[in-house]
Amino acid sequence: MLRHPHWFIRGMDFPRLQFMIFATVLLIAQLLLLNIELIGVHVLIFATSFCLVWQLCWILPFTFIWPKEVKTSKDIDVNRRISILTSNVLTPNRNADALINLIKQHQPDVLVTLESDQWWQDKLTVIESEMPYSVKCPLDNLYGMHVYSRLPISEQEIKYLVEKDVPSIHLAVTLRSGDKVRVHFLHPAPPSPTENTESTERDAELIIVARSVAQTDQPVIVTGDLNDVAWSATTRLFRKISGLLDPRVGRGALNTFHVDYPFARWPLDHLFHSHHFTLQDIQRLPSISSDHFPLLTRLSFTPIHGHNQQGIQAESTEHQWSEEIVKANNVTVVDVPTPDADNKKRLSMSAKP
């Protein structure tokens, strides 16, 4: 319940599913093994039940019994579709062929790789004949990033929004229909004892992007490895401030990390989008020997059908919280590039007499 940014406290957001399972087993054991006529046992059962319900409230939206936040698309116009494959490749991983085979199989319009260095850039040159548009930022610090696209991209910009060695990529993608989509690719550093001892840097990057996209009526997509789980307080804050939708709500969590530990997996790789889109499909793809599974999302640009989709709303206290996060890191919304909006502004200025 605490909002303290220390990594240990923020880390408690991650294993909510595991806490829920543990609370369920504990509650059953209490009912079967303890003397329920004792007042102390009643207190224990109440406390365990409260913990179970509390965790369930966070997890439940990412199950099939919850109403879908994003409509399922019925649009058959392929020119108004966009598919994005998000893959944290793990820098020391050398199984590039596995990713290349997934690209050939699923034919995504856009590929974003996280943790990709110069070696990965060299290996991915084989896809450039089919995905000729690219933005490349190879780094050896686990924060390299590459974007490859079949669709034309413009106004691409690499920014270091909060930390000097943690990049993000911002650009506009032109669909086959001619419609432009503003896209932000993010990979903020996680709160951990080996990196940032607090979550303030990660949270600040998410919030300034959220506040930026909240100011536009453009079609927007934000995707990447956010190093935060879908059900955390800060990811919920991002959704509330940005107004973006989460296609996983009502469809499943699609846990992408960690590949090697099924008992400790959570959804770290995300894609959020504006109401202009409805969902064709979202799926977790097979392992490529990384510690993350790739995530493939197919969207339809259907603003008429999607205009009444609505996410979760922010309260005044949450707007205040977002302001505190931004001020604590001395960053502002103007640091975030606004692809396409900038172009429209320049065209408007040039048209003046």
What SS3 string covers 114-177?
ECCCHHHHHHHHHHCCCCCEEEEECCCCCCCEEEEECCCEEEEEEECCCCCCCCEEEEEEECCC
Least confident piece of the model among 18-27, 56-65, 185-194, 337-346:
337-346
Region 73-90: mean pLDDT is 95
Burial class (CB in 10 A: 0-12, 13-18, 19+), 128: exposed
Q: Choose among 146, 150, 148: nearest CA to 158.
A: 146
* pLDDT beyond 50 at 210: yes
Query: What region, left, alpha or beta, does residue 243 occupy, with left being phi > 0 and alpha being psi -120 to 50 degrees?
Result: left
Question: Please, which pLDDT band fits residue 341 given cuts at 50, 70 and 90?
Answer: low
Helix (H, G, I), strand (E, B) or coil at 275: coil
Region 320-325: mean pLDDT is 92
How many whole angstroms from its chain centre is CA 24? 29
Average per-residue pLDDT in the chain?
93
Strand residue runs (E) in the chain: 81-88, 110-114, 133-137, 145-149, 153-159, 168-174, 180-186, 220-225, 269-273, 277-284, 295-301
**Percent of the chain predicted with pLDDT > 70:** 96
Q: Choose among 334, 351, 298: nearest CA to 159.
A: 334
Region 253-269: mean pLDDT is 95
Right CATH number for 78-344 from 3.20.20.70, 3.90.1530.30, 3.60.10.10, 3.30.70.2390?
A: 3.60.10.10
What whole-number distance in Å separates Cα of residue 285 and Cα of residue 101?
Answer: 11
* pLDDT beyond 70 at 285: yes
Region 204-219: mean pLDDT is 96
Note the pLDDT of residue 342.
47
* pLDDT beyond 80 at 345: no
Amino acid identity, position 70: V
Question: Please, which pLDDT band fits residue 7 given cuts at 50, 70 and 90?
Answer: confident
Least confident piece of the model among 4-8, 216-220, 292-296:
4-8
Helix (H, G, I), strand (E, B) or coil at 256: coil
What ranges do the domains of the chain cover?
7-62, 78-344
What whole-number distance in Å separates Cα of residue 322 and Cα of residue 338?
Answer: 20
Question: Please, which pLDDT band fits residue 55 given cuts at 50, 70 and 90?
Answer: very high
Burial class (CB in 10 A: 0-12, 13-18, 19+), 291: middle
Region 312-329: mean pLDDT is 91
Map tokens 């939206």 to a residue.
61
* pLDDT beyond 80 at 202: yes
